[in-house]
Amino acid sequence: MMPKTPLSFTLNGSETALFVDPGANLLDTLRRGAGDLTPKLGCAQGTCGACTVLIDGEPHLSCLTLAETVEGRDIATTGGLADGPDLHPLQQAFMEGFAAQCGFCTAGMLMAAKALLDRRPNPSRDEVIEAIGGNLCRCTGYEPIVDAILTAAARMQGRSA
């Protein structure tokens, strides 16, 4: 049996240290090792985006990230979006705008959207569509998702959508 590898990183602002199997991906490490079940396993091949997390602020597919490569890095998941009982504006807009149907893609959508708004607080509709271009919604509810992201952006800028 191959020895496990020690790994430490920051998960949603908290120092996290655990052991990973050789070849383990970040998604498994987050879900089974760190107990953060918000990133989802969809396709395991980089097509669906359900496992999207931010690594040092940039969106990455956690199912295709070798866990060992995130040593010392900053990981953000949907699990860290809310501030206690207060939802993040993106979560609030998704909820109010019925942007989640089955909800399986939502965690990845939220992180792709957060990466966009962190970089471009006032995106165009086309920029939103591009930002979630790697995230599939099998319920095909894309319009409410795009609307919700634009609504959140407007609220975060103190504007009406």
Partner 1 sequence: MSLTVNTVATLRDAAYALNDRARYLGGGTLLMRAVNYGDQAFDTIVRSRETDRTIRSEGQGIRIGAGATMTDLLASRDAEALHPVARVIGGPAVRNMATVGGNLFAAPPYGDLATAFLALDATVQMADGQSMPMESFLSARARSRGLVAAVMVPRTGPQEFRFAKVTRIKPKGVSMMSIAARLPGAGGSLGDVRLAFGTMGPMPLRAKAAEQALRGRSLTEDGIREALRVCCDGLQPGTDELASEWYRREVAPVHLKRLLLGRGR
In the complex, the residues that contact partner 1 under the rule CB under 8 A are: 1-2, 5, 21-23, 25, 44-46, 49, 52, 58-61, 63-66, 68-69, 112, 115-116, 129-135
Classify 84 as helix, strand or coil.
Answer: coil
Give 41 or 87: the residue with its C-beta nearer to partner 1: 41
Give 1 or 160: the residue with its C-beta nearer to partner 1: 1
Q: How far is the CB of 150 from partner 1 (least distance, A)?
A: 17
Classify 154 as helix, strand or coil.
Answer: helix
Give 52 or 78: the residue with its C-beta nearer to partner 1: 52
CB 38 within 8 A of CB 54: no
Give 18 or 85: the residue with its C-beta nearer to partner 1: 18
Q: How far is the CB of 108 from partner 1 (least distance, A)?
A: 9
Q: Which of 156, 161, 121, 119 is nearest to 144 (CA)?
A: 161
How many residues does this entry show for the chain?
A: 161
Q: Which of 110, 116, 58, 53 is nearest to 87 (CA)?
A: 110
